[in-house]
Amino acid sequence: MKTIIIGGVAGGASAAARLRRLDESAEIIVLERGEYVSFANCGLPYYIGEVITDKRNLTLQTPESFKARFNIDVRIKNEAIKINSDAKTIIIKNLDKNSVYEESYDNLILSPGAEPIRPNIDGIDGSNVFTLRNIPDTLNIKEYIENSNPKSAVVIGGGYIGVEMAENLKEAGLNVSIVELADHLLAPLDFDMAADVHRYVKEKGIKLYLNNGVKAVDGNTVVLQDGEISADMVMLSVGVRPETMLAQECGIKTNKRGSIIVDRQMKTSIPDIYAVGDAVEVEDFITKAPAFIPLAGPANKQGRIAADNIAGFASEYSGTQGTAVLKIFDMTVAATGVNEKAAKAAGINYDKTYIYLASHASYYPGAHNMSVKALWDKDTLKIVGVQIVGFDGVDKRMDVLAAAVRFGAKITDLTGLELCYAPPFGSAKDPVNMLGFVAENVVSGKINQFFWHDIEKLPSDGSVTLLDVRTKTEVQYGKIEGFINIPLDSLREHISEIPKDKPVYVHCHSGLRSYIACRILAGSGYDCFNLAGGWRLYESVINERAVPEYSCTKCK
């Protein structure tokens, strides 16, 4: 049996290695038009920021190592230029020799990946404009920084790669700005969770131009829809598109985006041709709708599944839930499943809540608070999405929650999880447990919630009581207009001052003390609502909305 794999990196290289482990006698050929068959593309920004200092560490496997360990014929700088599916042959161009030859196959795996989108704007092909996809791109950027000594950079696009590039360009000593067409960075997050990210990124000296787009690059000037920025170099990071022209030309079915349509066994519409990685359409694990979610983890799994099926072992891909984590200087951001925008679009009848808790026992040195937001389906109580922004311990909690989502856990199931505890690592009631406790209170009706976006709609005619149970000192640093202050520890002695015939809307700093206040009030016959996420979340979101710091005309 002869299998040809077009493209390496995550999907193709994983498929090749897995197929060899399953079939020692198979003939396996990997075609890669570039110079590198297997490299750490997620590590590329960190070479630019000199976190990774040896470029050899970016290369995971070489043709020689593939041959030695797996007996796989890896042909770099060999580009597949045509697939004849009827004859089961491929026309290949040797880029070094500028010659063309033909190979037959029994099975074919396509792993061409995705290419950076280059928007149709003037000046986009300038010598100071870069994209980042592979090691040569990385070396070009590094060489430009070392030889041209740029002082400033603009990153167009505030997704994962854009933010990582902004961080690493800043670490390389440049003044950095991010331009993003949406109202917030990192599309998997909702605006309320991105607000903390914005504040932190700006504290680190990176300027943000949100709700703004690029009209042109004119030498060292980036012309925006509103304003312009001086920049010695420009990084394009506006997203990627599947690179599937070869597949389309041979008749393989693709969707409107150009993604290859595959079944759960990673089979395309043409027999004996499989496709994996960023080039394929996947099923969203939560919504079950077709989706484009280019991530390395799913690509590796898909390569393995394609190899399993070729070798005669039934294997299926069960969908992508979009679990991802991002480092921004010392901050960690993670998400899994859908956000509110996606949940609404999918018609999910969801509820949500927030917690703000320390990464480990607060009395042990080094604890940092993390902000957690969870969405769950009201009808089934299944968790459909989680977002976490914080520092230490974020990835640990997200891995637990992503596993819970994958196995269909209810939000209330989190209360029963038995997780590791010692003061340096966690708390006796871990933030994951606490998320379940808070949600269980909501689901069971022990607490009613209201949210930061409801505050402006609260009546001001005296028909409700607005109560702030923070300390007097806390209130001095900021308050929500119209809320009267009665600190929690004084509430019982002042409870007679609160009218019983009106609903009471309560807030504290994070939602914990106001929950206790609501239980006190409910026990005395009051109708009480707790501000989910508390003053901390409200203040973060409202300030980010009210102060578009760099959305000014003719900013320099």
Q: Which sequence positions are flagged as catalytic?
A: 42
Can you state the percent helix, strand and coil of the chain, rounding each to 5?
30, 30, 40
Cβ proximity of 241 and 118 under 8 Å: no
Q: What SS3 state is found at 452?
A: helix
Phi, psi of 443 (to 5 degrees): -60, -40
Residue type, position 430, single letter: D
Q: Is 37 exposed, middle or buried (0-12, 13-18, 19+ CB in 10 A)?
A: buried
Pseudo-torsion of CA 493, 499, 502, 504, nearest 10°?
-20
- The pair of three-digit structure tokens given for residue 539, joined into one six-digit string: 């203040």
C-beta separation of 117 from 128 below 8 A: no
Q: How crowded is residue 536: how many other Cβ atoms within 10 Å of its Cβ?
A: 18
Cβ-based burial of 506 (10 A; exposed 0-12, middle 13-18, buried ≥19): buried
The label of the residue with tokens 């007097």 reads 472
Q: What distance in Å separates the CA atoms of residue 451 and residue 457, rounded to the nearest whole number? A: 11
Q: What are phi and psi of 474, to 5 degrees?
A: -60, -40
Locate 444 and state its tokens. 């069971």
DSSP E strands: which ranges in 26-77? 27-32, 38-39, 59-61, 73-76
Burial of 96 (0-12, 13-18, 19+ CB in 10 A): exposed
Neighbouring C-beta atoms of residue 165, cutoff 10 Å: 26
Closest to 17 (Cα-Cα) out of 367, 377, 276: 276
Contact criterion met (CB below 8 Å) for 260 and 254: yes
Number of helical (H) and strand (E) elements in the chain, helices listed first: 15, 32
State how far the Cα of 23 lies from the Cα of 71, in Å rounded to an integer.
11
The helix (run of H) or strand (run of E) holding residue 526 is: none
Residues 285, 321 contacting (CB under 8 angstroms): yes
DSSP 447: -
